[in-house]
Amino acid sequence: MSLLRVENVYKKFGGLTANQDISFTVQAGEIVGLIGPNGAGKTTMFNCIAGYSPPTTGDIWLEDVKISGMTPEQCARVGIARTFQVARTFTSMSALENVMVGTFLKQRGVAAARRTAQELLDFVNLGHFADKPAGSMTISEQRRLAVARALAVQPKLLLMDEVMAGLNPTEVRETVEVVLKIRDQGISCLIVEHVLEGIMPIANQIVVLDYGKKIADGSPHDVSNDPHVIAAYLGDE
Amino acid sequence: MLKNIDSLPSSLPVPLGAARPTRRTVLLLALLLVALALPLIVTSPSHQNLAILMLMAAQIGVSWNIVGGYAGQVSLGHAAFYGIGAYTSTILFSLFGINPWFAMLAGGVIAALVSLPVGWSCFRLKGHYFAMATIAVAEIIQIVFTNWDFAGAAVGLTIPMNESGWANMIFDDKAPYYYIALGLLLLTMLANFAIERSYLGYYFRAIKDEPDAARSLGVSLSKYKQIAFAVSSFFTAMGGSLYAQKELYIDPGSVLGTGLSIKMALVSILGGIGTLFGPLVGAGLLTAIEEGTRTMFGGSGRGTDLIIYAALIIVIAVYYPNGILGYIKSKIARRKAGKAQAAISAQEVVK
């Protein structure tokens, strides 16, 4: 059985249809890229899955739990973690404390939270920044901090919204390594991404949206040769 | 924030400022000793009264700070809970003869219960809208008490001073009130400290910093805002009960007024919002201004303290948005960070 199933999801904002009849699945332990031009409805899809704005119609399932209609905090509890386009760092806290907030979902002890949070910071290569005020970290560091914080809720599925946007090639490489390590832990990743050279080599599957509709779904190789996708990105001849 | 600064040196290769925590402990113990000995040194009742007013202002500031400072939900209607505490204990004690110590606790519990429906409705609003809604709630409660004959209506209630002593929490001299106010302040600070150090403290700060991110980590905003609100209301009400026992007279104007709500917020904001000791600094300063202008200008100068308050708010908002203590702390942190950087570069030079 698939880990995540999105079934015929529509999301309308008044007269605007941001997602139209979207269906796709994410298998356990896989990296799935959700790509498409600006305004294609990728972030809207994310918000539907993470509970921030429920689909107008259609269902979303995580294993055998129907999650469409759940609140974000309920989604976190059943195993969905997410990062945001802007890092949304807790700026009054240190890096370690940011991650600790996430760990409290599974256990309430502060000492244990400190240990787990330190491990997670090490995992995303930010271990030496534990005591640094989180607000003073670079964008790249804050993105990885957000990943560590999301991992702290021990998710089955991690949603990452443009983790590589605006990063230089070195930082993209570091982030890719982290994503692969997460996958190796058995956590599935659904990644909204504009940086195609970052996501294409590592994804098991790519879902392409354009104008709110799914136009392609398959392996990175198939998708990048799909005439619809080429038309959406480069325009028709 | 406190912890933040403490943990800075521990991660450094050189044990810079390693004596810091112990020095702070010594300082706090000394402060506590002075506080305990104060009534023995300062024997003038009017000066003792000033100290009591400062302690009481600090206590409600610390209480307000739990929801307004740590969780970032600025309530401008906290006088409602102060009044509920004062009225509950006074009614239970003077009309039903219930022991005032127990009545004080009951006041806290009732205020916490009242905070549930208030929070349920007001926490649907964010930021300024929440603050405005709390003002409205406090006004409604004030109007109810002003027209409620059983609670003395506009005339208020008097606690009959028949038997003074610890059993009735009524005293002829000021010193016992001083110790009760000090005890209540310490209790409130202890609760605040425990919350700050537990997962609740982290959740409150997360809600204040980035509510959407907090939700993504499984933090239910309504639940934890409500917890902060209830705890804050509980201790605010205990402060109200103490006021009633000290003055032996309450009316809607003195325990439910809007000015009181603003004072509670101001004590925290002035001293340092979201810090444990900030309200103490703020309370000392505000009470000094309030009583100072009263003695200086007497009846003709009524409202002088409000002019100074207003000027202070502007100065704080423009120059020290983190309050006096927040400003001092950030200065210390910056100096430490500078030293740490210097130590690291010095090591690198050696290598």
pLDDT tens digit sequence for A85-119: 888 999 999 999 999 999 999 999 999 999 999 99
Q: What is the pLDDT of residue B301?
A: 66
Tell me which of B321 and B107 has the higher pLDDT. Answer: B107
Q: Distance between CA A50 and CA A81 in Å, rounded?
A: 8
Residue B166: is its pLDDT beyond 70?
A: yes
The contacts of residue A210 (CB under 8 Å, 6+ apart) are A36, A37, A40, A228, A232
Contacts of A101 in chain B (CB under 8 A): 202-203, 206, 214, 217, 219
Q: Which residues in chain B are closer than 8 Å to A110, comparing Cβ atoms?
A: 197-199
The pLDDT, as a whole number, for residue B342 is 75
Q: How confident is the model at residue B115 (pLDDT cuts 50, 70, 90)?
A: very high
Q: How confident is the model at residue B349 (pLDDT cuts 50, 70, 90)?
A: low
Query: B125-129, B320-324, B339-343 — which is least confidently predicted?
Result: B339-343
Contacts across the A-B interface (CB distance below 8 Å): 91
**Chain B nearest C-alpha distance from A233 (Å):** 32
Domain contains B326: no
B195 min Cα distance to partner chain A (Å) = 11
Round to whole Å and give the CA distance between A205 and A24. Answer: 10
Q: Is the confidence at residue B3, as pLDDT, over 60?
A: no
Is residue B243 a contact partner of residue B250, using CB atoms and an 8 Å limit? yes
* Interacting residues of A228 by C-beta distance below 8 A, sequence separation 6+: A208, A210, A215, A216
The confidence score (pLDDT) of residue B21 equals: 64
Listed in sequence order, the residues at least 6 apart from A140 whose beta carbon sits closer than 8 Å to its beta carbon are A167, A168, A171, A174, A175
Instruction: Return per-residue pLDDT of chain A as tens, 237 residues.
Output: 789 999 999 999 988 889 999 999 999 999 999 998 888 889 999 999 999 999 999 999 999 999 998 999 999 999 999 999 888 999 999 999 999 999 999 999 999 999 999 999 999 999 999 999 999 999 889 999 999 999 999 999 999 998 888 888 888 888 899 999 999 999 999 999 887 888 889 999 999 999 889 998 999 999 888 888 888 887 765
> Residue B305's pLDDT band (boundaries 50, 70, 90)?
confident
Complete domains list, chain A, with CATH? 4-79+156-234 (3.40.50.300), 91-154 (no CATH)
Question: Can you list the alpha helix ranges (DSSP code H) found in chain A?
Answer: 42-50, 72-78, 95-103, 110-123, 139-151, 169-184, 196-199, 220-224, 227-234
Which of B200, B205, B217, B219 to mutate to probe the A interface, most A CBs <10 Å?
A: B217
Alpha carbon separation from B229 to B88, B122, B123, B129, B241 (Å, rounded): 19, 11, 10, 16, 18
pLDDT for residue A45 = 92
Q: Is the CB of residue B103 less than 8 Å from the CB of residue B86? A: no
pLDDT band at B22 (very low <50, low <70, confident <90, very high): confident
**Is B39 within 8 Å of chain A by CB?**
no
Instruction: Measure A3 CA to nearest chain B CA, in Å.
Output: 19
- What's the whole-number mean pLDDT along residues B1-10? 40
Task: Quote the number of domains for chain B.
Answer: 1
Q: Is residue B308 part of a domain?
A: no
Closest-CA residue of chain A to B70: A92
- The answer to whether residues B306 and B258 touch, using CB atoms and an 8 Å cutoff, is no
Can you give the pLDDT at residue B40?
87
Q: Which residues in chain A touch residue B202, judged by CB atoms under 8 angstroms apart? A: 93, 97, 100-101, 104, 113
Q: How far is A134 from chain B (nearest CA, A)?
A: 11
Percent of chain B with pLDDT over 70: 91
pLDDT band at B299 (very low <50, low <70, confident <90, very high): low
Average confidence score pLDDT of chain A: 91
Please answer yes or no on whether A131 and B7 come within 8 Å at the CB atom.
yes
Candidate from B11, B209, B216 with C-beta closest to A81: B216
Asked whether the beta carbons of residue B218 and residue A153 sit closer than 8 angstroms, the reply is yes
Q: Which of B11, B199, B210 sits opposite A110 (nearest CB)?
A: B199
A128, closest residue in chain B (CA to CA): B11
Q: Which domain holds residue B61?
A: 54-258
Assess: ipTM above 0.90. yes
B208 touches chain A (CB under 8 A): yes
User: How far apart, in whole angstroms, are the C-alpha atoms of residue A138 and residue A159?
Assistant: 21
- Cα-Cα end-to-end distance for chain B: 34
Q: Is B288 inside any structural domain?
A: no
Question: Where does the pLDDT of residue B6 fall: very low under 50, low under 70, confident under 90, or very high at 90 and above?
Answer: very low
Q: Is B334 exposed, middle or buried (0-12, 13-18, 19+ CB in 10 A)?
A: exposed
On chain A, the residues whose CB falls within 8 A of the CB of B214 are 90, 101
Q: Which residue of A has its CA nearest to B221?
A: A73
Nearest residue, CB atoms, A104 vs list B3, B199, B210: B199
Q: Which residue has the higher pLDDT, B309 or A201?
A: A201
User: Is residue B173 one of the residues assigned to a domain?
Assistant: yes
**Residue B217 touches partner A, C-beta closer than 8 Å:** yes
Reported as a pLDDT band with limits 50, 70 and 90, residue B344 is low
A→B interface, C-beta within 8 Å:
50, 52, 71-73, 76-77, 81-82, 84, 88-94, 97, 100-102, 104-105, 108-110, 113, 130-131, 133, 146, 149-150, 152-153
Domain presence at residue B15: no
Q: Give the model's pLDDT for residue A31.
A: 95
* pTM for this predicted structure: 0.89
Mean per-residue pLDDT over chain B, rounded: 86
Q: Do A101 and B219 make contact, defined as CB atoms within 8 angstroms?
A: yes
- pLDDT of B9 > 60? The answer is no
